[in-house]
Amino acid sequence: MRLIFVGFGTVGRGAAECLLAARAQLAASGLAPRLVAVIDPAVGSALCADGLDEAELLRLADAGISLAEHEGAETIVGLADVLERNAADVLVELTPTNLQTGQPGLDHVRAAIEAGLHVVTTNKGPIALAYHELAAEARAAGVQLRYEGTVMSGTPVLSLCEAGLAGAGIRAIRGVLNGTCNFILTQMEQGVDYTDALVDAQQKGYAEADPSGDVDGWDAAAKALILANCVLGAELGIDDVQRTGIAGLSRADIETATAEGNTWRLVARIEAEDASYRAAVAPELVRRTDPLGALTGPRNLLAFDTESLGEVVISGPGAGRRATGHAIVADLLALHRRGAV
């Protein structure tokens, strides 16, 4: 299984670390992935048909040295260059999410499918904005498209829906899908002001310098959209997701909730409505004893309401270098189990 990584920032390096850590376990499953190319405009690009060394790539990137310096690597211009050489089986798309255009991930995914490569991605943009189109293109090309890392990073929620919950009749999904907001709300419950909690989240690396993607609910909305379209078969666009962020919550709101045994959570909900589904992200008052109310800090959680099983709840990390990197390992193993490569 020959891989191209596009993107070698935090997520790409986490994926390389996870591949290294899981090497023995992958080999036991008969899977020996070989990283033949890495493309990143910031840290450099490299191609080596015999395989690049993940540890060496990590050393170079962390030292700020161009990946082109990897021993024996050829210089490459871009993805098209690698695809033309027929050098790989799977594109691993790890560039940052853009919810307006899906770019540059969307072009990368399309080009790879067209070239007959399977695609694994952690990039929410292409999946949130163009899932049905990309899935149809992948089916027509006879390749697979996997995206575990787009919702709750490596916490295996999409494979749970695909495998164990298949046939259980999922009626509705609700959950906490943005760790930054959950961290801020948890801090506010302990008496910290919104602004101080946000700065704390930024210092801890949970929130970006521009926090609007998190606190305005865009990130959670993209994940709700992916669940609606990919798991429940809805055909919604990002503007169909009703979205309210957490910036309107005051200390007084939080204190009143606490006094009444409740807590505010930024809740994503996907529910049946008429012949389709309604998706929304908004602050909700939930009981402390509710699984969503009991979730503290930057963790994420999804509760599935099913016909056969009633409520099934899964929680885990929603972000992080290793956690998101694991999603790539899980998706590559799934490609292998399904006989793709």
| Nearer of residues 78 and 164 to its own copies, judged by Cβ | 164
223 is catalytic: yes
Residue 313 interacts with its own copies (CB under 8 A)?
Answer: yes
Within 10 A of 174 (CB to CB), how many other CB atoms are there?
25
Question: In this chain, which stretch among 52-60, 94-102, 129-137, 331-339 interacts with its own copies, using CB under 8 A?
Answer: 331-339
Distances (CA, A) of 133 to 33, 69, 88, 270, 335: 28, 38, 23, 21, 20
Coil, helix or strand for 265?
A: strand
Residue 217 interacts with its own copies (CB under 8 A)?
Answer: no
Residue 30 interacts with its own copies (CB under 8 A)?
Answer: no
Q: Which residue, among 40, 54, 71, has the nearest Cα to 328 in the 3D structure?
A: 54
Instruction: For the CB of residue 160, give the shortest distance to its own copies in the complex, in Å.
Output: 6
Ranges within 10-29 binding its own copies (CB under 8 A):
18, 21-22, 25-26, 29
CB 327 within 8 A of CB 319: no
Ranges within 138-197 binding its own copies (CB under 8 A):
148, 154-157, 159-160, 162-169
Q: Which residue, among 160, 180, 179, 178, has the nearest Cα to 170 in the 3D structure?
A: 160
Instruction: For the CB of residue 21, give the shortest distance to its own copies in the complex, in Å.
Output: 7
Could you tell me the sign of the dihedral formed by the alpha carbons of 52, 150, 160, 335, in that order? negative
Instruction: For the CB of residue 300, give the shortest distance to its own copies in the complex, in Å.
Output: 11
Within 10 A of 101 (CB to CB), how many other CB atoms are there?
12
Question: In this chain, which stretch among 132-140, 262-270, 279-287, 311-319 interacts with its own copies, using CB under 8 A?
Answer: 311-319
Ranges within 275-304 binding its own copies (CB under 8 A):
289, 291, 294, 296
Distances (CA, A) of 55 to 5, 16, 197, 301: 14, 8, 36, 33
| Nearer of residues 49 and 160 to its own copies, judged by Cβ | 160
Contacting its own copies (CB under 8 A), which of 37, 112, 292, 329? 329
Spatial distance between the Cα atoms of 290 and 307, rounded to a whole number of angstroms: 20
CB 150 within 8 A of CB 122: yes
The active-site residue, picked from 70, 174, 223, 321, is 223
Kindly list the residues in this chain that would bind its own copies in the complex (CB under 8 A).
18, 21-22, 25-26, 29, 148, 154-157, 159-160, 162-169, 289, 291, 294, 296, 307-317, 322-323, 325-326, 329-330, 333-334, 337-339
Catalytic residues, by residue number, are 223
